[in-house]
Amino acid sequence: MAHLEGGGTLARPAAEEDAFLRMVRMVAPGTPLREGLDSILSARAGALIVVGASPEVLAIMDGGFPLDIEFAPTFLYELSKLDGAVLVSDDLTRILRANALLLPDPSIPSFETGIRHRTAERAARATGALIIAISHRRSVVSLYRGPTKYVIKEPSLILARANQALATLGRYRNIFDQVSTALTALEFEQEATVGDVSHVVQEAAVVEAIVSEVTLSIAELGSEGRLVAMQAEELEQGVAEEATLVIRDYAEDPDPGTARDTLARLSSWDREDLLDLAAVARFIGLGPTLDAPVTPRGHRILSRVPRLPSPVIENIVTRFGDLRHVVDASLEELDEVDGIGEVRARTIHAGLKRLHQQTLWDWRS
């Protein structure tokens, strides 16, 4: 059983992560299901709730009585007073059965001690369905799905954790902006190194990892997490896009999808591994020599030129090969590139010059 006791995150594939977040959102504050769970907790009662009437679930369910009534928090609360499990539909719009017995294979390993939680864990492992167990003695709501267990925490505790993560996110975002500005200046001066590039990607991966943690808190908070979501979105804005362009500028394969995948995989690393700058450099494909000089293709800096479409940027990079040759190109040479006329050539020329001057000013100030 992979445990996630309401704090931190587990590294899992993207599809599995999405399914986990959907599960958490189903029981977040502001949802009808959470309202019913809170009523059960307030009454210091216990409950066993099964979400989804799949063939696997029906195969281990016995007895009870069929209902097929509209879901309502009050109905869930009243039916939970019975000893058996309550079966609700996948979309949480219907209550299908109440007072049913769950009879999962007793040979399925369980790490729980109470009968209700042991049954929930085994049933989740056997069916893959979401099983919710509420302990009347400890007033704890536990979610089981497949091998994963998740314990719902008080919103105040989740909010405190989210605010702490936001403060950390803000600090790393500032660091990312600083190293990104430094890299831009060094690229214009033709002094960028493997270490400079890797540092930008490293800080972006840390930002994305923290955002993943905040995303879980937002899902847990439900309707109470809107402000946290807005702050996280503002702090994250543009980081992944910029880091992806950095990777495209230097990695052997400049494909956008490959670059995004590289950043996503880096973001899933343990924080200790991510602190190893040489390891980050090797993963990008730049090698472990951090002071080795490198030259960008120019995707990132060209993307900052106003009103310059992506296809035109691709044409420029293909034509000139690297940023140094783009910066040194004459208006006539730029004009020869597909998609660039005389007016756009002047815009690119002036835009790069202005960006160079502004970046040097920001870097040195």
pLDDT band at residue 7 using 50, 70 and 90 as cut-offs? very low
Give the number of domains in the chain. Answer: 3
Same domain, residue pair 8 and 142: yes
Please say which residue of 129, 152, 175 terminates a domain: 152
* pLDDT mean across residues, the chain: 91
pLDDT band at residue 8 using 50, 70 and 90 as cut-offs? very low
362 has pLDDT over 90: no
- Whole-model pTM: value is 0.81
* b/e sequence 50-60, b meaning 16+ C-beta within 10 Å: bbbbeeebbeb
* b/e sequence 12-48, b meaning 16+ C-beta within 10 Å: eeeeebebbbebbbbbbbebebbebbbbbbeeeebbb
pLDDT band at residue 119 using 50, 70 and 90 as cut-offs? very high
Same domain, residue pair 143 and 17: yes
User: What CA–CA distance (Å, rounded) separates 298 from 79?
Assistant: 64
Query: Which residue in 226, 82, 60, 206 sits closest to 128, CA to CA?
Result: 60
For residues 290-301, average pLDDT: 96
Do the beta carbons of residue 57 and residue 64 sit within 8 Å? no
User: What CA–CA distance (Å, rounded) separates 34 from 50?
Assistant: 14
Q: What pLDDT does residue 75 have?
A: 96
For residues 279-298, average pLDDT: 94
Please say which residue of 152, 175, 201 terminates a domain: 152
Same domain, residue pair 98 and 66: yes
44 has pLDDT over 70: yes
Same domain, residue pair 280 and 310: no
User: What CA–CA distance (Å, rounded) separates 224 from 81?
Assistant: 29
For residues 178-202, average pLDDT: 96
Q: Which domain holds residue 254?
A: 153-296
Overall residue count recorded for the chain in this entry: 365
Q: What pLDDT does residue 137 have?
A: 77
Q: Is residue 71 classed as helix, strand or coil in its secondary structure?
A: coil
| H helix count then E strand count, the chain | 17, 9
For residues 180-195, average pLDDT: 95
Q: What pLDDT does residue 232 have?
A: 95
Same domain, residue pair 6 and 53: yes
User: What CA–CA distance (Å, rounded) separates 365 from 356?
Assistant: 14
Q: What is the CATH number of the domain that holds 345?
A: 1.10.150.20
Q: What pLDDT does residue 264 have?
A: 94
Same domain, residue pair 162 and 207: yes
11 has pLDDT over 70: no
**64 φ, ψ to 5°?**
75, -170
Q: What pLDDT does residue 9 have?
A: 40
Same domain, residue pair 286 and 342: no
Q: How many Cβ atoms are within 10 Å of 291's Cβ, its own excluded?
A: 8
10 has pLDDT over 60: no
For residues 269-298, average pLDDT: 93
283 has pLDDT over 80: yes
Same domain, residue pair 94 and 217: no
Q: What pLDDT does residue 154 have?
A: 86
Q: What is the CATH number of the domain that holds 194?
A: 1.20.1260.110
User: What CA–CA distance (Å, rounded) separates 349 from 305?
Assistant: 9
Please say which residue of 152, 187, 205 terminates a domain: 152
Same domain, residue pair 341 and 308: yes
Which tens digits make up the pLDDT trace of 52-95? 999 999 999 999 999 999 999 999 999 999 989 999 999 999 99
Q: How many Cβ atoms are within 10 Å of 365's Cβ, its own excluded?
A: 5
Q: What is the CATH number of the domain that holds 10?
A: 3.40.1700.10
Q: What pLDDT does residue 323 have?
A: 95
Same domain, residue pair 305 and 270: no
Same domain, residue pair 190 and 228: yes
